[in-house]
Amino acid sequence: MLRQINNSQKKREANNFGKLLLVILLLNINIMIAQDKNTNSNNLNAHQQSMAGIAAFSAVGNMQQLKTELNTGLDSGLTINEIKEALVQLYAYCGFPRSLNAINAFMEVLEKRKADGITDLQGREASPIKAVNDQYRVGKETLQKLTGREEKEPKTGANAFAPVIDVFLKEHLFAAIFSRDVLNYRQREFVTISILAAMSGVEPQLQAHISMGLNTGITENQIIELSTIIEKKIGKEQAEIVKSLLKKVIQNNKNN
């Protein structure tokens, strides 16, 4: 009888121990899932990876690789209008020739895909922009949101030396383009960083836009991952510049 009681007690203890192990295992799984979600939130998704390649190859004028990247982007779910917005924005950073060439390449890709029976998502059009008399003020306010700093007078540097460039930047880029809501500020800054990361000799502008990108919600890890994409598609030297400038921006933010 005593032996039966002991065996029964041992079974209950074993069952309780098994349940405890199961609870611990489930807790560990939940922790791992939560950590994975947090990690993924800092990683570039398929849309961002494709957009980085599209912007980079457009900026350097590699049309053959661009067409491959455009197909990849469309296959990943990027809409036609999202890609068009990025290619139009391109003109502000590397000129109309690169922008127009990229748009023409995109047209060829779409025609080929249509002929192959592929239907791509058009995506939504930009909302109508309210007419304002002072586009310069709109652009100035947008830039202040991106930088997180109030722009003070008098103007300095290039804006003081050639005031009209300041007008064009505010009215054309940060008002006319950035007011179009097909892409939000974070997406536009990501496109800009990708463009500048692929180009040589634009380190001051790239550093400024990495800072703006962080202000719009792009993470440090995403910039690092972007540098990996740039290394693979453009070259190691350009990737190292991205990482070096990111460190400078982080250090400047700590000092301010």
Question: pLDDT truncated to tens, each residue of the chain (256 aa)?
Answer: 545 545 555 556 556 555 544 444 444 444 333 333 333 457 999 999 999 999 999 999 999 999 999 999 999 999 999 999 999 999 999 999 999 999 999 999 999 999 999 999 999 999 998 877 899 999 999 999 999 999 988 999 999 999 999 999 999 999 999 999 999 999 999 999 999 999 999 999 999 999 999 999 999 999 999 999 999 999 999 999 999 999 999 999 999 7
Cα diameter, the chain: 101
pLDDT for residue 175: 95
Q: Tokens 């067409």 map to which residue? A: 67
DSSP-derived secondary structure letter, 200: S
pLDDT for residue 222: 97
pLDDT for residue 174: 96
Residues 28 and 71: their CA atoms lie apart, in Å, by 40
pLDDT for residue 1: 52
pLDDT for residue 13: 58
pLDDT for residue 24: 45
Name all domains of the chain by residue range, CATH numbers in brackets.
Answer: 46-126+180-255 (1.20.1290.10)
20 CB neighbour count, 10 Å cutoff: 10
pLDDT for residue 17: 53
pLDDT for residue 19: 53
Residues 101 and 136: their CA atoms lie apart, in Å, by 29
pLDDT for residue 224: 97
